[in-house]
Each structure stands twice: as structure tokens, then as C-alpha cells.
């Protein structure tokens, strides 16, 4: 049966049950106020320690979390460079599409992160996994390999933390059960970590500069 171009699309959902834009934004704001801020601070400190030890940070996730992993790698890799000082060693495993599809096609989709990590990961490196549900098999497999290698594991998730919570040294769990809210808040959390880390590295650079000047003054006197 054909329909005319002027036919109206009727939304059967009662208006009282629809998610209004204002309601959604207020929900996000409410979740932001309930974040586990001590855990977020711990992540910032862990990344700072990794930077000082010249360790590598690996990030990964699926879907929107894959996009955030790439976004974070950009922030942490470029945005933390202070006065031309040494840059953070950061890599998003979500950026090598040919390699991901090769592992997915020739082996198993669950292997796409673990097998990228396997030849590079070293003890003391940091693996930062992002998963809204906390139960993505490929994310869990990457975290498991990291633990076996002696790398530090960090997780960013939602709901109740999922299975990844038990595989993470530090896990930031967004207290929400709406995936869109979780993803929005994940971006805010990542920016909070980035800005905190940037400040820490700036303070570190200032300290090094003061020490260098003091040493130069001592030896020239």
C-alpha cells in the first residue's frame, strides 16, 4: 500500500514517556555530580607516574569508546607537551583499521586489541580500556593480557562496572545505566584527567627547570 508524501509520521510513544532534551541534559549533569572523583584523581596520578618512567600508554574501546580512545590519544600525546619537553608515549589501538580487521577476519574479533598489544606491551606500561558496559570480550582480553604482562590497567566504564572492573587496578565507573549518558560523561572524565595530567606535567617541568638553573648557578660560581 502506497502512502502519500504528505502523510504524517505518528509517534505512538506518550509524550509523558519521551526523553525531552532538557531532561537528558539534566540527567547528565546529575551523573557528573556523582562521579567517583578520587578514582579519577588516581588515574591522573598513575599517568603522571607512567610519564616520568617513560612508559607507554595504550588506549582502546569499541564504537563510541573507540572514538574516545583516539580522542584521548590525541589529548594525551600532543596536549601534554609542555615547553617542548618530552612527550607522553601514547597509542590508540583503535587507529589501525587494517590491522584490526585482519585480526577480526583471520582470527577472532575478541583478539583485535590483545594481539596488537602482545608484541609491544612491557611491564610498567599502562593499558587504558574504555567500555560503556564493561563486558566487551575484546576489551576484557586486552586487559587480561596486560595483567599477565605486568602492565598497569585502568578502566573507564558505566553501569556497575561489568567484568572489566575486576581486571583494572583503577576503574572509574560512571553511575548511570543509559549508554548515551555514560558516553557523554566519559568524555568529560577524559578531559578532566587530561587537564589534571597537563597541570602535573607543567609543575614537573617547572621543577626540572628550577633544578637545572640552580645547578648551573652552583657550577658557574
For each of the chain's 221 residues, which pLDDT tens digit applies? 444 455 565 555 565 667 789 999 999 999 999 999 999 999 999 999 999 999 999 999 999 999 999 999 999 999 887 666 788 999 999 999 999 999 999 999 999 999 999 999 999 999 999 999 999 999 999 999 999 999 999 999 999 999 999 999 999 999 999 999 999 999 999 999 999 999 999 888 765 554 444 444 444 55
* CATH number of the structural domain 36-210: 3.40.50.10490
d(CA 128, CA 155): 6
Reported pTM: 0.85
* Region class of 188: left (phi > 0), else alpha (psi between -120 and 50), else beta: alpha
Amino acid at each position: 500500500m502506497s502512502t502519500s508524501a504528505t502523510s504524517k509520521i505518528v509517534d505512538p510513544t506518550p509524550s509523558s514517556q519521551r526523553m525531552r532534551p532538557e531532561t537528558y541534559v539534566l540527567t547528565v549533569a546529575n551523573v557528573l555530580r556523582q562521579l567517583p572523583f578520587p578514582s579519577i584523581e588516581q588515574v591522573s596520578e598513575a599517568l603522571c607516574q607512567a610519564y616520568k618512567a617513560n612508559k607507554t600508554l595504550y588506549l582502546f574501546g569499541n564504537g563510541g569508546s573507540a572514538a574516545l580512545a583516539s580522542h584521548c590519544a590525541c589529548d594525551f600525546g600532543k596536549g601534554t607537551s609542555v615547553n617542548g619537553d618530552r612527550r607522553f608515549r601514547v597509542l590508540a589501538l583503535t587507529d589501525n583499521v587494517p590491522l584490526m580487521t585482519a585480526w577480526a577476519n583471520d582470527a577472532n574479533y575478541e583478539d583485535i586489541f590483545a594481539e596488537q598489544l602482545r608484541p609491544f606491551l612491557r611491564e610498567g606500561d599502562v593499558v587504558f580500556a574504555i567500555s560503556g558496559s564493561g563486558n566487551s570480550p575484546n576489551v576484557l582480553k586486552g586487559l587480561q593480557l596486560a595483567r599477565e604482562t605486568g602492565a598497569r590497567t585502568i578502566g573507564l566504564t558505566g553501569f556497575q562496572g561489568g567484568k572489566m572492573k575486576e581486571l583494572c587496578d583503577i576503574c572509574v565507573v560512571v553511575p548511570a545505566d543509559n549508554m548515551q549518558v555514560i558516553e557523554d560523561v566519559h568524555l568529560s572524565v577524559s578531559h578532566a584527567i587530561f587537564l589534571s595530567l597537563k597541570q602535573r606535567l607543567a609543575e614537573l617541568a617547572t621543577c626540572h627547570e628550577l633544578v637545572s638553573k640552580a645547578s648551573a648557578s652552583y657550577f658557574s660560581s
